[in-house]
Amino acid sequence: MKKIFLLISVIAILMPASAGAKVVDSLIFDARGSFNQEIHEGTYTPRFRAEHLNFNIAGRIAPNVSYRVRQRLHIWGDAENPFKATDYLCLYWNVNPKLRLYAGKTAALIGGYEYYSPSIDVYFYSRFCSGLDQAYVFGVNMDWYFMENQSMMIQIANSPLSNGFKKELGYNLAWDGQFAKWWNTMWSVNFVEDSQGGMMNYLALGNHFVFGNVAVDLDFFNRAGIGQKRPLFTDYSIIGKLIWSISNWNLCGKFGYETNSQDNVNAEGKAYDRVIAPGTTSIYGGCGIEYFPLKNNRLRLHAIYFTDSSKKIHNVQIGLTFRFRVI
């Protein structure tokens, strides 16, 4: 029944609201699969794996009102979070060239370029970004474009540390900016409530550098519970990524270091941070190659290797990503 409802919903969206009205500007399906070979504590496991199947819809229902939908077809919601498979379900109102208001489900406004990358383009995530209860949340947002290439964003939404529609909220302020043509930023300050009655503060500093055909991302996440004795540099993640583009090829590398001091517990001995446990130190990294035979992002082949010290795995993956545009 869910699949039938989804199909009917898509057909309904595609139908024009009135004669001559253009409701949908784009409808794109994308998918990724791979042959995955993993060695975990000496045990070798090979398998073919389908990893992503999404449809993406965007359109305009008035000159200054638009919408976006991104739905994952390979997972479904549940009673606790019926919209678990929905990343974006959002209505945007461009009030004027400097102000945009929007409401619905979008990414939680946490800075950092790994966090904001589409999941179909990420082969392995940090523990922090993959460990949140929900990376996409329902709420209200405001974007203020106060200068060219500079914007401030405010979001009040469900907390990423609480699954579904619960009472916990997140209060997020971000700056999407540019120091130079070769240096872009996605920085944020976040106060997010958790399901145990606590509140976490995140300071996220995402930096994107471009030097010719080489792109480098460097993200820093500092985490601290309200009341934590040492709020800086005791619970943090550092993530780096490099892509060197040569014709139809990308040579890629990525590393991460994540740690949380064992002292970051409250008076009752409970952890402030529920995503990265106290006493954790994790190092991960990998490298790979991507090939675009059509010289665009419609078709991508990849071969990657990565390892994770805390999970004690070595992984080799060969896969395929394709996107096809219906509209």
**What's the whole-number mean pLDDT along residues 12-23?**
50
Helix (H) / strand (E) element for 141: namely strand 136-147
Q: Which tens digit of pLDDT belongs to each residue from 56-107?
A: 999 999 999 999 999 999 888 887 889 999 999 999 999 999 999 999 999 9
CA distances from 167 to 47, 137, 194 (A): 40, 13, 9
Q: Provide the 3-class DSSP secondary structure of residue 117.
A: coil
Question: Strands 249-260, 235-246: parallel, antiparallel or unpaired by DSSP?
Answer: antiparallel
Q: Which tens digit of pLDDT belongs to each residue from 281-324?
A: 999 999 999 999 999 999 999 999 999 988 889 999 999 999 99
Domains detected in the chain: 25-325 (2.40.160.10)
Mean pLDDT check: name the lowest of 32-46, 75-89, 184-198, 225-239: 75-89
Higher-confidence residue of 282 and 12: namely 282
- pTM: predicted TM-score of the whole model, two decimal places: 0.90
Question: What's the confidence (pLDDT) of residue 17?
Answer: 45
**Confidence band for 24, pLDDT divided at 50, 70 and 90:** confident
Q: For residues 287 and 131, give the distance between their C-alpha atoms in angstroms, rounded to a whole number.
A: 22
Q: Which tens digit of pLDDT belongs to each residue from 133-149?
A: 999 999 999 999 999 99
CA distances from 152 to 79, 186, 189, 214 (A): 35, 10, 12, 27
Residue position matching structure tokens 């030097």: 211
Question: What's the confidence (pLDDT) of residue 22?
Answer: 59
Q: For residues 307 and 15, give the distance between their C-alpha atoms in angstroms, rounded to a whole number.
A: 47
N-term to C-term CA, the chain: 26
**What's the whole-number mean pLDDT along residues 37-66?**
93
Q: Which tens digit of pLDDT belongs to each residue from 101-124?
A: 999 999 999 999 999 899 999 999
